[in-house]
């Protein structure tokens, strides 16, 4: 396997052509190595279906909160498998199932868990703020249950809460995107600390803000649509964007 570079974190500009090229190369990688994308997608689909079943069976929506909190802990590890596949295809190395998932497990002894912890902290802070926003606008509203008293959301306070909450949530999503979109593949590719990787990722997005915000929104919309048919659209979307993210990182790396 190609030795990892030491301590280099600079990333260059990204163009619209790079986005198209990343999607094309991601599609090619997905077709060349469908097994790995299928395994990663199966893990995520099974997790989603399990939490949906538990939520419906118990009638307790707080299980969805557990899912939202838990996903940042294992989600990046599933992405690493796709990055490693594309990494090996880039360098013409053999795809060995045990070695690829051995690399994934090996990330537990490197910098990835620290980045996962940061992602989780941002999620938890967002949950805290979401409750604060709800209490600020609807804390005194008369209703028995937020899932059965839906008309309260159509009130003036409810609509303002939805607007403010959506704006704050979008800002948190943008922050997570900025610190992870290049940091995750960089931690696989190079021997750098997670703070340097996050700073490099944030700076790269800041320098290509409009284009990469479009990229992040494109991923978010297609991922949401992929979850609607019982999560099964993730079998297409997750491998495609996982491989494409690696190639977009490589394009930014090449222009550093």
For the record, the structure tokens of 144 come out as: 């028995």
Q: What pLDDT sits at residue 142?
A: 57
**Would you mind telling me the total number of residues written for the chain in this entry?**
256
Name the stretches of the chain with pLDDT < 50: 144
The end-to-end CA distance of the chain, in Å, is: 23
Largest Cα separation within the chain, whole Å, is 63
pTM of the model: 0.86
Q: What pLDDT sits at residue 6?
A: 61
Q: What pLDDT sits at residue 7?
A: 61
Q: What pLDDT sits at residue 224?
A: 86
Q: What pLDDT sits at residue 62?
A: 57
Rounded to the nearest 10 degrees, the angle between the axes of helix 34-58 and helix 62-90 is 180
Q: What pLDDT sits at residue 144?
A: 46
Using DSSP bridges, classify how beta strands 5-6 and 190-191 pair: parallel, antiparallel or unpaired.
parallel
CA-to-CA separations, 12 to 9, 55, 182, 210, 242, in angstroms, rounded = 10, 44, 11, 15, 20
Helices (H), the chain: 16-32, 34-58, 62-90, 97-106, 112-138, 156-180, 183-189, 194-207, 209-227, 234-254
């Amino acid at each position: 396997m190609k030795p990892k570079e030491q301590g280099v974190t600079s990333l260059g500009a990204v163009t619209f052509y790079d986005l198209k090229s990343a999607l094309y190369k991601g599609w090619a990688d997905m077709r060349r190595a469908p097994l790995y994308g299928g395994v990663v997608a199966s893990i995520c689909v099974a997790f989603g279906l399990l939490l949906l079943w538990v939520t419906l069976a118990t009638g307790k929506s707080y299980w969805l909160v557990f899912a939202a909190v838990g996903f940042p802990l294992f989600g990046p590890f599933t992405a690493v498998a796709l990055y490693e596949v594309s990494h090996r295809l880039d360098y013409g190395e053999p795809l060995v199932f045990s070695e690829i998932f051995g690399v994934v497990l090996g990330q537990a002894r490197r910098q990835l868990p620290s980045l996962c912890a940061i992602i989780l902290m941002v999620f938890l802070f967002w949950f805290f703020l979401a409750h604060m926003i709800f209490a600020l606008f609807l804390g005194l509203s008369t209703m028995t249950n937020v899932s059965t008293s839906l008309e309260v959301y159509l009130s003036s306070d409810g609509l303002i809460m939805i607007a403010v909450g959506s704006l704050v949530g979008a800002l948190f999503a943008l922050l997570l995107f900025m610190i992870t979109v290049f940091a995750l593949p960089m931690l696989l590719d190079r021997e750098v600390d997670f703070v340097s990787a996050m700073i490099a990722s944030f700076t790269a997005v800041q320098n290509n803000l409009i284009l990469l915000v479009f990229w992040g929104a494109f991923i978010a919309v297609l991922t949401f649509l992929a979850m609607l048919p019982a999560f099964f659209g993730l079998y297409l979307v997750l491998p495609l964007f996982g491989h494409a993210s690696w190639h977009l990182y490589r394009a930014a790396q090449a222009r550093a």
